[in-house]
Amino acid sequence: MKFLRDFLDKQKPHFTKGGRFEKLHSTFDAFETFLFVPNKVTSSGAHIRDAIDMKRTMIVVVLSLIPALLFGIWNVGYQHYASHGMAYDFWPIIGFGLLKVLPILVVSYVVGLAIEFAFAQSRGHEVNEGFLVSGILIPLVMPPDVPLWMVALATAFAVIIGKEVFGGTGMNILNPALTARAFMFFAYPSEMSGDKIWIAEKADAFSGATPLGHLLVNEVDKLPTNLSMFMGTIPGSIGETSTLAIILGGLVLVITGVGSLRIILSVVAGGIGMGLLFNLWGANEYMNIPAYQHLLMGGFAFGAVFMATDPVTAAQTAKGKLIYGFLIGVMAILIRVFNPAYPEGMMLAILLMNVFAPLIDHYVVQANIKKRLKRVKAAVV
Amino acid sequence: MSTKHEKEPLFSARNRKLISNPLGMENPITVQVLGICSALAVTAKLKPAFVMAVSVTVVTMFSNLIISAMRNSIPPRIRIIVQLVVIASLVIVVDQVLKAYVYDVSRQLSVFVGLIITNCILMGRLEAFAMSNKPWPSFLDGLGNGLGYGLILIILGFTRELFGSGAIWGYSIVPQALFDFGYKNNGFFILPPMALIIVGIIIWIQRSRNPELVED
């Protein structure tokens, strides 16, 4: 570590004002602060300081995604061999999974970070950390067989149109990873839905439908068991199949205080509430499945834990978080059950509520101001 | 206007500006943000976008001309309804011409030809320009704004048809080899939201090149 610090200190003068590489100053800064907690202190005004800075926060999120990623790698391999009915060992499965998942991960990071660095450089900003998380979220919500150039295109779209246009990390209205997925969904529907794409290099005779795909055509009897949906040994996007791995990651987020438990719980409450309501209605078989099963299928758990809790795009007030989360749960199940064109409603539900989050916050704050003004008036009179 | 002035040449610098300004710094779509609805709705393909651009240009030109010629005899309190009658008559003429000569495009444009009547650019130009200027400059102003609108429509139609359908003017131009290689048409370009994003990108480029357009 010492020699790394020394090396950085030696290079630093070249990147400060007047140095040889003055123009690349923000790039140097990015690497330096990535490796070491910066020693810069705000010199004016009163500030509340947190012991943890943004890079360290982002790393916690990345760590919490590791279980889902590892399980996803295994599952991609497992689904492939299972569809061919072949005997399989642990290592070939992991090998195949790595072969499929790693390129997507690399493409997402390289394209996204290149754009982030380019924008930071041209605007003279520091490089934003936000993409460290988006870069790993994007592969996790893609199907395993997705062509790499599409991943590159979707990532570029998400970073430029979803984020940089609004001013970069912290200013975006929509969650960048979901923006990438929504772009893919509308641009290349044949690569993002149906029953062909959820298993990498699937055998032709094998049905590769996801649980939601089965439900869409009212094949309730073909649903996998609750246990396999909970463990995640089902076809689906790379990182979202295993509810167990997601709960592990969610625990990390909640214990470190990085993710909001309030949002997660209210999303779950919204989903279960809507599920129960449909049970009462019971117009078709899809409406009759037990409400808790909705939580195990598709991207519900993944969205609730990793997407809805994104601190930038979620509601900020305590009451607002409850409303925001609850409506995500309700919308997700509503879209799932009612709209045959969109088998998975979680993505659209979160993006929709992202748009509404500032409005929710506004009314929560206004209501609070009104309440307190009333109290003041009562006290004066 | 009351002072007597010398006869202006037909294409004086001032008149030329009437045409060139709306193409850039006063573009009805990217700067005034008018006529967005039809710009999103009819630009999935280049051909309907082009026909729409021509139709709107013809209507703006002649409605500006007619209203400007009538401007001194229109009672101010009913001027809007008079303007609407003129626009509506012109739109009906355009609609009939399209039906007679390019029926397939007319079918594609469907209700949006009729909706030219409600295009904000038309009313905007009549109120802001034709009501207080002479017929010839009004005619040129109509032409300029129609072209400014049409320019954006054609950029949109070109981009969206190229990436959304792999074609230009209905002819496939993306080579089959590229599709064999794994390329796919981007369905998002067919959808209206992409048109909005492209308009946004055009505005972004225009404003970063002309900082005086940026509001606080």
Q: Where are the domains of chain B?
A: 32-211
Would you say residue B55 has pLDDT above 80? Answer: yes
Q: What's residue B70's pLDDT? A: 92
pLDDT tens figures, B132-150: 999 999 999 999 999 999 9
User: Whole-angstrom Cα distance, residue B189 to residue B164?
Assistant: 5
User: Whole-angstrom Cα distance, residue A284 to residue A289?
Assistant: 9
Asked if A76 contacts A101 with a C-beta cutoff of 8 angstroms, the reply is: yes
Span A348-363, average pLDDT: 95
Residues A209 and A270 in one domain: no
Residue type for A155, please? T
Nearest residue on chain B to A157, judged by CA atoms? B197
pLDDT tens figures, B58-77: 999 999 999 999 999 999 89
Would you say residue B1 has pLDDT above 60? Answer: no
Q: What's residue B62's pLDDT? A: 95
- A-chain CB neighbours of B191 within 8 Å are 186
> What distance in Å separates residue B124's CA from the closest CA in chain A?
30
A149 touches chain B (CB under 8 A): yes
Residues A219 and A305 in one domain: no
- Is the ipTM value over 0.90, yes or no? no
Name all contacts of B33-37 with Cβ < 8 Å and 24+ positions apart. B34/B119, B34/B120, B34/B121, B34/B124, B35/B119, B35/B120, B35/B121, B35/B149, B36/B196, B36/B199, B37/B115
pLDDT tens figures, A259-278: 899 999 999 999 999 999 99
pLDDT tens figures, A280-303: 988 777 888 888 888 888 889 999
Residues A273 and A310 in one domain: yes
- A-chain CB neighbours of B193 within 8 Å are 186
B167-168 and B171-172 strand pairing = antiparallel
Q: What's residue A308's pLDDT? A: 93
Distances in Å between the Cα of B61 and the Cα atoms of A40, B45, B64 are: 62, 25, 5
Among A199, A227, A255, the domain boundary falls at A255
A147 touches chain B (CB under 8 A): yes
Among A215, A240, A255, the domain boundary falls at A255
**What predicted TM-score, i.e. pTM, was given to this entire model?**
0.87
Q: How many domains does chain A have?
A: 2
| Nearest neighbour of A187 by CB, restricted to B182, B188, B200 | B188
Q: What's residue A201's pLDDT? A: 78
Q: Which residue has 């209205």 as its token pair? A: A173
A187 touches chain B (CB under 8 A): yes
- Is A23 inside any structural domain? yes
Would you say residue A310 has pLDDT above 60? Answer: yes
> What distance in Å separates residue B166's CA from the closest CA in chain A?
13
Chain B contacts to A (CB-CB under 8 A): 182, 184, 186-189, 191, 193, 197, 200, 204
Structure tokens that stand for B92 in this block: 């009906």
Would you say residue A23 has pLDDT above 50? Answer: yes
Residues A70 and A206 in one domain: yes
- Is A43 inside any structural domain? no
- Orientation of helix A346-380 relative to helix A318-338, angle to 10°: 150
Would you say residue A323 has pLDDT above 90? Answer: yes
Q: What's residue A10's pLDDT? A: 78
Phi-psi region of B174 (alpha: psi -120 to 50; beta: other; left: phi over 0): beta
Q: Which of A306, A290, A291, A319 is nearest to A347 (CA)?
A: A306
Q: Which residue has 């048109």 as its token pair? A: B195
- Orientation of helix A54-83 relative to helix A243-256, angle to 10°: 170
> What distance in Å separates residue B161's CA from the closest CA in chain A?
13
Q: Which of A122, A173, A186, A355 should be substituted to probe chain B, the one whose Cβ sees the most B Cβ atoms within 10 Å?
A: A186
Q: What's residue B198's pLDDT? A: 94
- Is A49 inside any structural domain? no
- Is A217 inside any structural domain? yes
- Give the number of A-B residue pairs with CB atoms closer than 8 Å: 21
Residues A135 and A88 in one domain: yes
Mean pLDDT of chain B: 89
pLDDT tens figures, A162-205: 998 888 878 889 999 999 999 999 999 888 877 778 888 777 76
Would you say residue A332 has pLDDT above 60? Answer: yes
Q: What's residue B2's pLDDT? A: 47
User: Whole-angstrom Cα distance, residue A335 to residue A148?
Assistant: 29
Please give the residue that has the higher pLDDT: either B12 or A54: B12
Q: Which of A205-219, A309-323, B199-213 has the lowest mean pLDDT?
A: A205-219
Would you say residue A258 has pLDDT above 50? Answer: yes
Q: Mean pLDDT: which of A76-85, A193-202, A229-238, A320-329 is highest?
A: A320-329
Would you say residue A39 has pLDDT above 70? Answer: no
Residues A82 and A189 in one domain: yes
Nearest residue on chain B to A192, judged by CA atoms? B187
User: Whole-angstrom Cα distance, residue B82 to residue B98?
Assistant: 25
Grade residue B96 by pLDDT with cuts at 50, 70 and 90: very high
How much is the CA Rg of chain A, to the nearest whole Å?
23
- A-chain CB neighbours of B189 within 8 Å are 187
Q: What's residue A148's pLDDT? A: 93
Residues A211 and A141 in one domain: yes
Residue type for A375, please? R
pLDDT tens figures, A211-227: 888 887 777 777 888 88
Q: Is A223 helix (H, G, I), strand (E, B) or coil?
A: coil
Residues A179 and A289 in one domain: no
User: Whole-angstrom Cα distance, residue A231 to residue A246?
Assistant: 10
| Domain of A340, in residue numbers | 260-381
Q: Which helix (H) or strand (E) holds A275?
A: helix A261-281
Structure tokens that stand for B97 in this block: 């011409």
Among A214, A239, A255, the domain boundary falls at A255
Residues A131 and A99 in one domain: yes
Q: What's residue B4's pLDDT? A: 52
| Nearest neighbour of B188 by CB, restricted to A147, A149, A186 | A186
Nearest residue on chain A to B187, judged by CA atoms? A187
Residues A266 and A156 in one domain: no
Distances in Å between the Cα of A190 and the Cα atoms of A134, B135, B187 are: 24, 55, 10
